[in-house]
Amino acid sequence: MLRKTYILAFGAAVAVAAMISTAQAQIQLTYPQGPLTSGGNGGPPPHHHHWRGICINGYVWREAVEGDHVCVTPGTRAQAADDNAHAGMRVSVHNQSYGPDTCKQGYVWREATPDDHVCVTPGTRDQTADDNAHAGSRIAR
């Protein structure tokens, strides 16, 4: 029995075809970031920021923090990267009312995840909350 294995890259997905004979072929799609997941009743998992999968056309992973797989527009992803790059400049060194992550006046925590304390504008936090609320509808099924 002749066995050949071919590996083809398709963007984020990798198709692996194992040829057992010329008449039979088995193809399995594997996503590097893991399989698509959902909650036990078919709905979204408890924390939307843990959605894993491939974003629908026009959306990319936000990646505001490690493991943040909420699908957002490329502009929103760029904003998250910019906010991360400027995070140190937006923390108050004098006012520690909310601990070491207390934001300077005019900034609030982004809260992409419960532990995300990057300081952003209130508008960015509102956008982040909206993106989290729509996370399940932006995953390719």
Domain boundaries, the chain: 46-138
Q: Is the pLDDT of residue 135 over 80?
A: yes
Pick the residue with more confidence: 11 or 64? 64
Question: What's 23's DSSP letter?
Answer: T
3 state SS for 69-106: CCEECHHHHHHHHHHHHCHHHHECCCCCCCCCCCECCC
pLDDT of residue 141: 80
Q: What is the pTM of this model?
A: 0.64
Residue with more model confidence, 61 or 52:
61
- The span from the CA of 101 to the CA of 97, in Å, is 9
Q: What's the whole-number average pLDDT of the chain?
A: 74
24 has pLDDT over 70: no
CA 101 to chain centre: 23
Proportion of the chain above pLDDT 70, given as a percent: 63
Q: Is 130 exposed, middle or buried (0-12, 13-18, 19+ CB in 10 A)?
A: exposed
